[in-house]
Amino acid sequence: MKEWHKHFDWLLLFCWGALAVIGLIAIYSATQGPVSEFLPSYIQRNFSNQLTWIFISAIAIILLQFTAPRSFQQVAFIFYGVCLFLGIITIFLGTEAGGATRWLVIGGLRIQVSEFMKLATILAVAQYLTSRRDISAEKLGPALTSVILMVIPAVIVLLQNDTGTALVMLSLIPVMLFWSGLPYGISLFIVSPAIIGYFAVLNWQWGLIVAIILTVGVFLIQRRPSLTMATFIVGLLIVIGVQVALYQILQPYQQARIEAFINPSMDPEGAGWNVMQAKTAIGSGGVFGKGFMEGTQTQLRFLPEQWTDFIFPVIAEEFGFIGAGLVLFIFGVLLLRLLNNAGDHKHPFAQLVMVGVTGIFFMHLLINIGSATGLFPVIGLPLPFVSYGGSSFLANSIMIGICLNLRLYQRTFTTF
């Protein structure tokens, strides 16, 4: 292709590279700094491992640019099937880490299948919804089929005790359906339980107020009394359900986690420990931070899982508001750029893939940083490209690579 570099999305690649470098710096500080003497040797190897994975991922991105966009459509269902199969195997044969069975060891290589399952689901749903003209999320049958396509991997991941990833997959449902033609009102209706639920956990009055606001919103957008009623009733049930769940259904340790989220200072040495330590790390960073490898919370290991789930507090502590803000800014550029690219693209498959990838990254960002800053209960999810983790980095990079590819070939890749 002539002048390919004019069509290539250098900005997106730059964001990928910038996040990878920031991640490397943070992982270095969290595992190679003064803290290293308290870490087992396999964690001290994290930095060089990550470097290797970034290198592999870079090659994957480059190779992907030589692929025809159509091949993603062709492999979508096969890839999806393979991932489901491996996912099920993982439930039975996987190795445990932190209470979750996530790892599948194949030939000495530890693979986290669920990371790839996210990509597989996006590809499969995108392929399904755009395969024939008569399939549209506006119709009940196809909508239900795509929901099932997304629920199955979510259930498999849930059986691996990986709640965070399951949550991310379920969040794909409204995003994908919304994009492929589901009316705005119904989309809001689908999203409303999550939003109401969040506020209901904080405080049931707030949950009720949010339910009413969303009901009004649904009515204003759609003006269908039945849908409006449904939104309100579901909202009400969620508020009640959350109260019942909080005090009747949840296991004590789950209750403690929620409790710790609502009021971390109540038990600063128990369940609230992680939240308090993460918030303290972020808060004590101030505007400019304590300096590279100078963060006391990080170097003295007050932060749990500081190379994966709690890597954001490491950056916030050592590089302050400037560093943490920069991370958010780069993510903002990346997400908005992906959405713009989706809007520019003429092919619905490409649009859906890009929107789906955006949704995945967005949910990771939301939950990871929300957990670290105490906006959400602690749910273990890596921050894309920044947290340590080979499978995660490679899978996320492949998603970026595919988006770059779809962008690069958008003139030739059309439905007609």
Name which of 4 and 184 has its Cβ closer to other proteins. Answer: 184
Cα–Cα distance for residue pair 365/397, rounded to 1 Å: 15
59 scored as a contact of other proteins (CB under 8 A) = no
Nearer to other proteins, 103 or 178 (CB): 178
Minimum CB distance to other proteins smaller for 241 or for 348: 348
Stretch binding other proteins (CB under 8 A), from 69-77, 95-103, 172-180, 390-398: 172-180
For the chain, report the end-to-end CA distance as a whole number of angstroms: 20
Of 28, 116, 189, 302, the one binding other proteins (CB under 8 A) is 302
How many other β-carbons are positioned within 10 Å of the β-carbon of residue 4? 10
Which residue stretch of 75-83, 368-376, 388-396, 403-411 sits at the interface with other proteins (rule: CB under 8 A)?
368-376
Strands (E), 126-197: none
In the complex, the smallest distance separating the C-beta of residue 340 from other proteins, rounded to whole angstroms, is 7
Q: What is the pattern of x (binds other proteins, CB under 8 A) and - over residues 262-301? A: -------xx------x-xxxxxxxxx--------xx-xxx
* 320 lies in the binding site for other proteins (CB under 8 A): yes
Sole binder of other proteins in the list 4, 38, 55, 85 (CB under 8 A): 38
What's the closest the beta carbon of residue 37 comes to other proteins, in angstroms?
A: 8
Q: How many residues bind other proteins (CB under 8 A)?
A: 51
Q: Which of 50, 114, 171, 358 lies at the binding interface for other proteins (CB under 8 A)?
A: 358
Angstrom distance (rounded) from CA 202 to CA 375: 10
DSSP code of residue 9: -
Does 339 engage in binding with other proteins (CB under 8 A)?
yes
Note whether 170 binds other proteins by CB under 8 A.
no
Angstrom distances, CA of residue 23 to CA of 47, 77, 81, 274, 414: 10, 33, 32, 21, 36
Please tell me the distance from the alpha carbon of residue 320 to that of residue 289, in angstroms, as a whole number.
Answer: 3
C-alpha to C-alpha distance for 359 and 342, rounded to whole angstroms: 12
Phi then psi for 71, rounded to 5 degrees?
-65, -25
Q: Does residue 332 touch other proteins according to CB under 8 A?
A: yes
* Residue with smaller CB distance to other proteins, 121 or 299: 299
Q: What are 344's two structure tokens? A: 């520019």
Name which of 204 and 321 has its Cβ closer to other proteins.
Answer: 321
Nearer to other proteins, 54 or 363 (CB): 363
State which of residues 159, 246, 335, 379 lies at the interface with other proteins (CB under 8 A): 335
Nearer to other proteins, 133 or 411 (CB): 133
Per CB under 8 A, the segment of 32-40, 227-235, 249-257, 394-402 that binds other proteins is: 32-40
Is there binding between residue 194 and other proteins (CB under 8 A)?
Answer: no
Instruction: Find the DSSP H helices in 263-310.
Output: 273-285, 296-299
Looking at 87-95, 207-215, 333-341, 389-397, which segment touches other proteins (CB under 8 A)? Answer: 333-341
- CA distances to 102, 127, 154, 202 from 159, rounded to whole Å, are 10, 26, 9, 27
Q: Position of tokens 């779809």?
A: 406
With respect to other proteins, which residue has the nearer C-beta, 87 or 313? 313
The answer for residues whose C-beta is within 8 angstroms of residue 365's C-beta and 6 or more apart is 331, 335, 383, 384
Q: What is the DSSP letter of 104?
A: E
184 binds other proteins (CB under 8 A): yes
Q: Are strands 95-97 and 100-106 parallel, antiparallel or unpaired?
A: antiparallel
CB of 22 to other proteins, least distance (A): 15
Nearest alpha-carbon partner for 261 in 369, 103, 377: 377
- In the numeric block, the tokens 């060089």 are attached to 48
Question: Which one, 334 or 394, has the nearer CB to other proteins?
Answer: 334
d(C-alpha 158, C-alpha 102), whole Å? 10
Residue 328, H or E segment = helix 311-344
Interacting residues with other proteins (CB under 8 A): 34-35, 38, 175, 178-179, 181, 184, 269-270, 277, 279-287, 296-297, 299-303, 316-317, 320-321, 324-325, 328, 331-332, 335-336, 339-340, 342-343, 351, 355, 358, 362, 366, 369-370, 373, 375
